[in-house]
Chains A and B, each alone.
Chain A
Amino acid sequence: MKVLLTWLREFAPIEGDPTELGEAMSSLGMAVESMETFDFMDGLVVARVLDLRSHPSADRIQLVDVDAGDGEPLQICCGAFNMAVGDLVPLATLGSTMPNGMEIARRRMRGEWSNGMLCSAAEIGLGSDAAGIMVLPEGLTPGTPVAEALGLADEVLWDLEINPNRPDAMSVIGVARDLAAHLGVPFSVPRWVVPETGESVSEVASVEISAPELCGRFVARVLRDVTVGSSPTWMQTRLSLCGMRPINSVVDVSNYVMLELGIPNHTYDLNRVPGGHLGVRWAREGERIVTLDGVERDLGPTDGVIVDADDTPIGIAGVMGGASTEIGPGTTDVLLEAAWWNQRAIAETSARLGLRSEASARFERGADWAINDLATDRFCHLMSEMGATVTRGHIDVFGVIPERPRVTVRVNRVNAMLGTTLDGERIRGLLEPIGFEFEPGSPADAPVVVVPSFRPDTTTEIDVIEEIARHHGYDRIETTVPRSPVAGHLTGYQQDRRRARRLLVGAGLIEAMPLPFLAPGDVTRAGLRVESPVTLANPLAAEESVLRPSLLPGILNAIAYNESHRNPSVEFFEIGTVFSAPAPGEIVPTENEHLAVALAGREAPGAKEYWDLLVAAFDAPGATLRNQDDLPGLHPTRGGVVSVGDSTVGVVGEVDPGVLEAWGIPERVAWLEIDLGAFLRSEHGAHRYRPVSVYPSSDIDLAFVVPDDRQASEVEEVLRDAAGPELARLVLFDVYRGEGVEPGSRSLAYSLRLQAPDRTLTDEDVALIRARCIEAVEDRLEGHLRH
């Protein structure tokens, strides 16, 4: 919402430094987004055209003699021809600087001197009209600075951010009222006098509301002898500065009244409305209308319409008028509407049609229903100044209007919410200037206030408390810090997650954070077999329409990005949410937090190292790894599943070469992805103390030849089992295939450290354990000791 200082001043004597006034508005919740003053026009003065002469040697410029205040003719060369002798025009005098930086100097144009420059409205920052020289309103004195002559000398333009709960501040009077209350100056809206002539409005027009819940109030007036021309310069100036393009006198006045009073209004060419009759009803399925913007629109039973005497829709209520009754250049009789529409109905229609207008924006936030008559008077007042006549009286029909809520405001509740010590008098002093009325006779410690009609957002005590806080001043509320009775802490899971992150960062990995969105093909391209990944109903782009079921595709994108920027062999990890279809009976998708490690340029063992690192760091006793062929997305013969206890928590291995090819990644990628939640839910982290034995240990090395179809992890398991509690450490230190080992088998060499907590193991003890191990491998794995 853009507001001008001089416009505000028509309703309250607002004075002060523009920056401080801006801060005051911000402190009231109308944040100043920008502020503009008009001091750029130094040296720009009003000049009267004395004579127009053709240039002796140029067709496209003429010679203009102007009076710049001293009565002497001053010759200017000018490329525009729209002015007449006697017009007042803006003259940029010698030595002045235009807003675009151009300096005005005396110069010769095709042999004739030009002693300044006449300007268009656009050139001096007053609107968009660049077609000709700006013709200023009559009555100005030549030589006066234009800024002063147009009343812009101390004009200030603020662009305010208005919150949805402040429909009143979508108008000049609303901003003025709030600011006046803050500054402690009086605020009032004049009753504009409308000279009425001729017949009564009810003789030429009628209004019937058939949908009272849609239309709370409908005020209509009729104007005659209207000339559709230009509106006065001052009005055009204000509209332009406030961001509305001047169009013609009727449209401009309509917009002016909307900006000033916050009441959207609509004009019909009376002669195109049969019998001057307007009806209000809900639209019917299948009805259509061509709106002012020339678009044909389908209507439905949730849309309000204005219909003519034939019951044909001629406007969409509160959103946009119809083309059939539009004001045209030949319009002389105008039927004016200033209605109040149900907020929700307008919001729904506007959303359904995707059609937002200045009017609908105001109606859906909630316009004032108490000043529609005033708005029509203001309209007629302004039009009558341009020669229109106004028929007698208003048509004023009511539907269902909201009641003004009566709200009990408990003084102690106010102070309990705000942490203040305001008394009833102070509260009254804050609320009355912004239109709240105090019901006489209500208790002093819990007065009943009646909410003004222009604050439809305010219905409950807390709403009123906010108004009190706003006008008391947020910055005047004393700050306190509550003492939390809670011991601040992270949950065990949150601590573990941080530990995992620290661990991986400590191991040299970089944490990646791809967006969780994937393109539709990414899931299958990554080799994942997910039947129905969760998709977005309204994605911004197709490439961002699928929610990731795995961290793999996003990380592959990140690796591919870096490969293509000459950064191969990146080593990433990620901790993030993955999504899958809702579980049976659930509405929302299943979410799991996954942890992934991706090592570009490394083979599967690299990923296994990180699994072992996690297992060691989190002391997960039941952690196992088993090879498994053809895991989704993984190298078909270089992958395995990892488990803790009975639950599988993830996969480890290498990304499928085919997938890497699809992503254009020219090197191998070692991959580990686990469900971090499942991993951390299983038993872990006990780090239970085991006494350090004081007795010496014995090391024995055993190399077994084991068939390839037996996993090393099985050998390990068998050895642990066979060796028993005296096995203090087991390390696989060599794997050998080749000469001396039969084909289809390999030699696995283990080092076993044996130690007892309570004695020194004898040679016999060690020999016994050794024999048990050999026997177990032979019996259970068809392996044998390598000779």
Chain B
Amino acid sequence: MTLTDEITRAGETAVAIIRGASSLEELKAAEPTIFGKKSALGSFKRSLGGLDPDERRDVGRHLNTVRAEVGDALEERRRELAAEERRRLLEAERLDLTEVPTSPRLGHAHLVSQAQERLEDVFVGMGFTVAEGPEAETDWYNFEALNIPRWHPARSMWDTLYLDLGDGDNVVLRTHTSPVQIRVMQNQGPPIYSVMPGRVYRRDTADASHMPVFHQIEGLVVDRGITFGDLAGTLDAFTSAYFGESISSRLRPSYFPFTEPSAEFDITCVICGGGGCQTCQRTGWIELGGCGMVHPNVLRNVDIDPEEFSGFAFGFGIDRLALMRHGVEDLRQMFTNDVRFLSQF
């Protein structure tokens, strides 16, 4: 057997050992027996010295080739084994994500807060500021300044809760957020473009559509040259912005002591889109709230000259909007604070 053949065989043996290694450790242990000084391939180098130059060149080249082949085989096997190893480790970490118990902590803002913030955002976008005020008010702010004197029959439109402060029935829990309108007009002259969200109170027994405590948002614009057309246009713009382009509004004559002309503010029924359903009693419209041109007496009560300035006001319930949006049937559910209810939204 020539030296060349020996080298070839030694190379074959080494490759067989490499291929036979079944783990990285085994391969590493085998490495010295393949490339070490005492290994077959290692020993050939020394044997080269005894050859004539030509032969030494040929055999040396062959030896290098074989060594390179063996090195490639070693590298390849190492990669294979490393990949296998990684696969094994990853397999050991296999996880069924669907069997993992989790308890995500998702907080929830109250439905009313969510609705109120959305309404505020729409009005802020339309150039309104947001005004707030006290929930307990004097009779003057809640009624008289709003053109509702004590004997006025229209007082019966609001079932009022009075506070027992030992001075008769002078202090009430506000029946609407209109007192905030009065305060804004007192504290700040025109131009006024503001909305007044907040909690209001009525002496109403709780049922599916009434609560003694609920939430309203009112709006007030006082400026030069404000018209009834501006009122209708503003409400229409709001309606499309809040409910969507397909929902429009209409005004019907109504009566409120603090506005004249006064109107009820209807919107296309959001349930049926105007086709007529049970919610809208087949009219295609839902009554949303009241509105009108600010009564000259109200302006006079806050020292604004009704000949110079005019304005409009509107108001509607926040709770009912939230109710409609989510299809909640009973208003009382909003205030039981049942987590099974609250955590749905």
| A→B interface (CB under 8 Å) | 26-29, 31, 163-166, 343-344, 347-348, 364-365, 416-420, 460, 462-463, 465-466, 469-470, 474-475, 477-491, 494, 498, 501-502, 504-517, 534-540, 544, 547, 557-558, 561-562, 565, 567, 570, 572, 577, 579, 581-582, 587-589, 591
Give A498 to B130 CA distance when docked, in angstroms: 13
Query: Which B residues touch A538, using CB under 8 A?
Result: 161-162, 203
Query: Which B residues touch A477, using CB under 8 A?
Result: 228-229, 232
Partner of B293, one of A417, A460, A567: A417
Give A587 to B171 CA distance when docked, in angstroms: 8
Query: Which B residues touch A29, using CB under 8 A?
Result: 252-255
Taking each of B129, B227, B334, which has the highest tally of chain A beta carbons within 10 Å of its own beta carbon? B227
Partner of B191, one of A460, A485, A562: A485
Closest chain A CB from B234 CB (angstroms): 6
Closest chain B CB from A512 CB (angstroms): 5
Given A486-B129, A507-B107, A591-B134, is A474 in contact with B251 using a C-beta cutoff of 8 Å? yes
Q: Does B113 contact A (CB under 8 A)?
A: yes
Nearest residue (CB) in A for B296 is: A462
Partner of B151, one of A347, A484, A535, A544: A347
Are the CB atoms of B109 and A505 closer together than 8 Å?
yes
Q: Which 4 A-B pairs have the closest CB atoms?
A: A484-B127, A419-B229, A508-B105, A29-B253
Q: Does B144 contact A (CB under 8 A)?
A: no
Closest chain B CB from A80 CB (angstroms): 38
Are the CB atoms of B335 and A515 closer together than 8 Å?
yes
Nearest residue (CB) in B for A575 is: B113
Q: Does B128 contact A (CB under 8 A)?
A: yes
Are the CB atoms of A509 and B191 closer together than 8 Å?
no
Are the CB atoms of B108 and A537 closer together than 8 Å?
no
Give A504 to B193 CA distance when docked, in angstroms: 31
Taking each of B161, B228, B234, which has the highest tally of chain A beta carbons within 10 Å of its own beta carbon? B228
Give A589 to B204 CA distance when docked, in angstroms: 22
Partner of A469, one of B126, B163, B261: B261
Are the CB atoms of B233 and A479 closer together than 8 Å?
yes
Are the CB atoms of B342 and A510 closer together than 8 Å?
yes
Query: Which B residues touch A465, using CB under 8 A?
Result: 260-261
Are the CB atoms of B109 and A474 closer together than 8 Å?
no
Give A34 to B231 CA distance when docked, in angstroms: 28
Closest chain A CB from B326 CB (angstroms): 15
Closest chain A CB from B68 CB (angstroms): 49
Query: Which A residues touch B170, using CB under 8 A?
Result: 587
Identify 7 residue pairs between A and B in the complex whose beta-carbon atoms are under 8 Å apart, listed by A's number. Answer: A474-B252, A484-B221, A510-B343, A567-B338, A572-B337, A579-B135, A588-B134
Other A-B contacts than A462-B293, A490-B129, 11 sampled, CB-CB below 8 A, are A416-B225, A462-B295, A479-B232, A482-B221, A482-B233, A488-B193, A491-B129, A498-B117, A536-B173, A561-B337, A589-B136
Query: Which B residues touch A504, using CB under 8 A?
Result: 107
Are the CB atoms of A466 and B109 closer together than 8 Å?
no
Taking each of A482, A539, A540, which has the highest tally of chain B beta carbons within 10 Å of its own beta carbon? A482
Give A136 to B123 CA distance when docked, in angstroms: 62
Give A31 to B255 CA distance when docked, in angstroms: 12
Query: Which A residues touch B237, using CB under 8 A?
Result: 481
Query: Which A residues touch B109, using CB under 8 A?
Result: 501-502, 505, 511
Given A498-B117, A562-B339, is A484 in contact with B163 using a C-beta cutoff of 8 Å? no
Are the CB atoms of B337 and A508 closer together than 8 Å?
no
Query: Which A residues touch B230, using CB under 8 A?
Result: 419, 480-482
Are the CB atoms of B253 and A514 closer together than 8 Å?
no
Give A466 to B251 CA distance when docked, in angstroms: 13
Query: Which A residues touch B177, using CB under 8 A?
Result: none
Partner of B126, one of A27, A484, A485, A509: A484
Taking each of A501, A516, A544, A587, which has the highest tally of chain B beta carbons within 10 Å of its own beta carbon? A587
Given A29-B255, A511-B108, is A562 in contact with B153 using a C-beta cutoff of 8 Å? no
